[in-house]
Structure 1
Amino acid sequence: MATGVQSDSASDQADVHRCEDKLNIVIVGAGLAGLAAAISCALAGHRVTVFEAAKELAEIGAGLQITPNASKLFREWGLEDSIKALAAIPTVLAVHRYRDGKILAEERDFDKNLQQKYGIPFLDIHRVDLQKILYNKAISLGVIVQLDCRVPLVVSTSAGPKVVFKSGREVQSDLVVGADGLWSKCRESMLKKADEPLPTGDLAYRIVLQLDKITDPELRHWIANPQVHFWIGPYSHAVAYSIRGGTMYNIVLLCPDDLPHGLSRTTGSVSEMQALFAGWDPILTRFLKQVDQVDKWKLMHREEVASWTNLEKNFVLLGDSCHPMLPYLAQGANSSIEDGGVLRRLLSYVTSKEQLPSAITLYERLRKPRSESIARETFHQREAFHMPDGLEQQERDRLFESQLGKEISGKFPSRWTCPEVQPWLYGYDAYREADEAVKLTPFEY
């Protein structure tokens, strides 16, 4: 893993020592959600151990869009400069008609506008780069990360929650945080039953292109000058943006799922992918001609659960284990970071183990409604972007074009720039939410 992690921000240094009775916290999963939770709990002054099933820490995936609601927390954690050094900051966000590339919506100075509105940038980064940064930060805070530790079961005991490993080993703690992703075994332990994810009917082709392997001057210009582009069409859409400072290009193609039941990921056929998007905007199809390999992912979701916590309030779910999201608003990782931020802030108020149930109760009360609302909103974005050609699509395009070049007002088909949805998504302040909630509901001693 890379080194060079920055020190804590001033605000975190100010209250990291507030807890007089350190909790022993176990986090299951070392993906983005688990590492963010580990940083959060360590910054709150507690002892943290992360158990990860993989034998090596390598986040699967490609690009990731970090929106202001999450980048605000990275600033609080002292990671903003490290992330910026490996990210790209898009200057334009544009939505195109799929067939001819006609611009339906465009926000120029996207970077400056978001900085002005939210005081923090919108960043595009490679998942692996972000995971390394989070890992190094966690280690610098004293977090212990143990790999090759598969946890199929969490049980509640009178002495506290206990994780049971596949090997038979057991570890007791004061708090277990289940951050083991979409196929969560922690979730099954919480529900006390098998609970597999459900197919959404969509799949994703994920592609990363290297600038130094592209010879087409126009394509090189697109990559080297970071922007976000969407192409929207019948039952499908594409999104593309630069990462690593404009040296790599991330493309995701979303289309109807044709993978068999039980197969969630496989190597895709390049020719099949190109055929599916034949006849789309020539600039997009030229990019697709540069592809020599592609991964194919079934997009899954989960039904909402009644509670993210156990009755004792010492076992809690976080991230995809309790609120997985379609990628259409790029909020899967961002909302998981929010989870970590709220958990961290609440735990910083915990000065005795007796207060832990109050903190976890408040965490669920703050996070569950918002996260589930975002998850539902992603389905609305899919509907708006995947309309088949016809009267409804024509009306949508007229609404798009009526706002082109103007300050957008009212409900807008692209939630990315919608004046009703964007502030709700990007303006969220996890620390403020937690602080205000504790003022209204102080922890019992």
Structure 2
Amino acid sequence: MTDKLSIIIVGAGIAGLSAAVSCALAGHSVIVLEGATELAEIGAGFQITPNATKILQRWGLEGEMKKTWAMPSSCTVHRYADGKALWHEANFAKNIQRKYEAPFVDMHRVDMQKILYDKAVELGAEVRLDHKIKEVRMNDEHGLPELEQMDGTVLSGDLVVGADGLWSRCRESMLGSKDQPLPTGDLAYRIVLTLDQIQDEELKQFVSNPTLHFWIGPKAHAVGYSMKSGTMYNLVLLVPDDLPPEVSRRPASIDEMKQLFEGWDPILTRLLGCVTTVDKWKLMHRAELESWTNKEKNFVLIGDSCHPMLPYLAQGANSSIEDGCVLGRVLSYVTRREQLPRAVELFEKLRKSRGEKVARETFLQRHDFHMEDGPEQQARDKIFDSQQGKEEAEVKFPSRWNCPEVQSWLYGYDAYQEVVKAVKQHPLS
């Protein structure tokens, strides 16, 4: 490498730390600025699908992940009212591993964030906490992007990466205007249960033997899975949004939550009976941007700053890992600074259409999971019934987690190979 790029990443969430690891592996100098005083990913569990686990394996992180991950052996989609299994894939984990040569696992976000942080630091990236940014702008004299922090300090680098999430200041800087997230019409109750909170022996077994469950019903659904090696349960309830427009998160009433799921599958309602505290979160999205980069191609957005999505396919974090990986892989081919604009263009070409396609697919999954009882729901359930008893679904399927059509392009994506092919077709020099 003739020129080592100076890269400033804003945000130390999953997207920012993934970019830090990948860019450091590419041999560049990396600084990560994080506004929080300590690393603590918002949320609880998340599902890491093969499109991301194959990246994390390449980064040598599987050993650390195995210490706390839970691998769901089966996947079941239940009808809300009686818990009937509309679909049951008994060998879900084995089938995924066989098809995509990478596992599907469930982890706590904090564990994954810590693993990525440790790897980034090990590779030489510098992570600065309690560094809030005000704006990103171009320095016309030097032709470089510069970043002003809230304390007035100004930093500049060859490339600024905006990985500062849904409420992104980097996005506003790129657009040159205020840009508020848009409500999706849904909210999420996010629940974490430990085995100590569960007295019911049947439920304890349910948690300690990891499986993946969906309960789908009118205008709502729930998803539950184990994490922390089967010692903790993550449960998310997705329902219509009733929060005021200006409120994005607040403590929730347990009684109100239970009433929303009254009459649902007894396993689900018994789990809700163990809850002692819960918050509800407004689910937000963003309009698609014309571009994720500035015209100089030295300032780029990744993750939720440019493609936030409903959590209905568990792809928010997975897509962010893809973004970070592809950015670093493309930059690994940069040996001279004048190649940077071509590299950033190539990154956007590789990532924008896919990221936005996944985001749109999450809304389609909401439609299929939230049908009210009636003819459309009955037609959907006939598709489920048509596949009962089969090892895997063989037709276009209402659960995209098991749909052979969607699963293949979603989980089969190989970020490393996509970059190799793209650079061959579009050399940087």
Superposition TM-score tier, normalisation by shorter sequence: over 0.9
Q: What is the TM-score of this pair, normalised by structure 1?
A: 0.95
The amino acid that maps onto 1:411 is K
1:262 paired to 2:221: no
What is the rounded CA distance, in whole Å, between the counterparts of 1:80 and 1:423 in structure 2? 22
What is the rounded CA distance, in whole Å, between the counterparts of 1:281 and 1:340 in structure 2? 39
Deviation of residue 309 (structure 1)? 0.3
> Which residue in the other structure is 2:167 paired with?
183
Q: Describe how 1:35-184 pairs up with structure 2 within 5 A.
A: 35-158=17-140, 159=142, 160-184=144-168
> Which residue in the other structure is 2:404 paired with?
419
What is the rounded CA distance, in whole Å, between the counterparts of 2:22 and 2:283 in structure 1? 28
Q: Describe how 1:240-259 pairs up with structure 2 within 5 A.
A: 240-259=224-243
> Which residue in the other structure is 1:9 paired with?
none
What is the rounded CA distance, in whole Å, between the counterparts of 2:386 and 2:317 in structure 1? 33
Contact 1:84 1:123 in 2 (8 A): no
**What secondary structure, in the 3-state scheme, does the structure 1 residue paired with 2:24 have?**
helix
Deviation of residue 213 (structure 1)? 2.7
> Which residue in the other structure is 2:178 paired with?
194
What is the rounded CA distance, in whole Å, between the counterparts of 2:323 and 2:192 in structure 1? 28
What is the rounded CA distance, in whole Å, between the counterparts of 1:110 and 1:55 in structure 2? 40
Percentage identity across aligned positions?
A: 64
Which of residues 291, 295, 310 is equivalent to 1:307?
291
Deviations 1:67-87 (Å, cap 9, x if unpaired)?
A: 000000000100011112111
Contact 1:350 1:356 in 2 (8 A): yes
What is the rounded CA distance, in whole Å, between the counterparts of 1:150 and 1:282 in structure 2? 46
1:436 paired to 2:418: no
> Which residue in the other structure is 2:381 paired with?
397
The amino acid that maps onto 2:96 is L
> Which residue in the other structure is 1:334 paired with?
318
Contact 1:180 1:321 in 2 (8 A): yes
What is the rounded CA distance, in whole Å, between the counterparts of 1:29 and 1:182 in structure 2? 11
Deviations 1:211-242 (Å, cap 9, x if unpaired)?
A: 13312111001100000000000000000000
The CA RMSD measured in Å over matched residues stands at: 0.7
What is the rounded CA distance, in whole Å, between the counterparts of 2:58 and 2:2 in structure 1? 22
The amino acid that maps onto 1:84 is K
Deviations 1:318-377 (Å, cap 9, x if unpaired)?
A: 000000010000000000100011111111100011111111000000100000000000
Deviations 1:127-179 (Å, cap 9, x if unpaired)?
A: 01111111111111111111111112000123210011111110010000000
Deviations 1:385-411 (Å, cap 9, x if unpaired)?
A: 000111100110111111111242221
Deviations 1:95-122 (Å, cap 9, x if unpaired)?
A: 0000100000111111111110011100
Deviations 1:394-435 (Å, cap 9, x if unpaired)?
A: 110111111111242221100001000001000000010011
The amino acid that maps onto 2:233 is Y
What is the rounded CA distance, in whole Å, between the counterparts of 1:423 and 1:33 in structure 2? 23
Contact 1:219 1:287 in 2 (8 A): yes
1:325 paired to 2:309: yes
What is the rounded CA distance, in whole Å, between the counterparts of 1:200 and 1:419 in structure 2? 27
The count of aligned residue pairs is: 426
What is the rounded CA distance, in whole Å, between the counterparts of 2:39 and 2:394 in structure 1? 44
1:231 paired to 2:212: no
Which portions of structure 1, spanning 4 or more consecutive aligned residues, are displaced by more than 6 angstroms? none
Which of residues 241, 247, 259 is equivalent to 1:275?
259
Q: What is the TM-score of this pair, normalised by structure 2?
A: 0.98
What is the rounded CA distance, in whole Å, between the counterparts of 1:152 and 1:92 in structure 2? 46
What is the rounded CA distance, in whole Å, between the counterparts of 1:355 and 1:88 in structure 2? 42
The amino acid that maps onto 1:441 is H
**What secondary structure, in the 3-state scheme, does the structure 2 residue paired with 1:284 have?**
helix
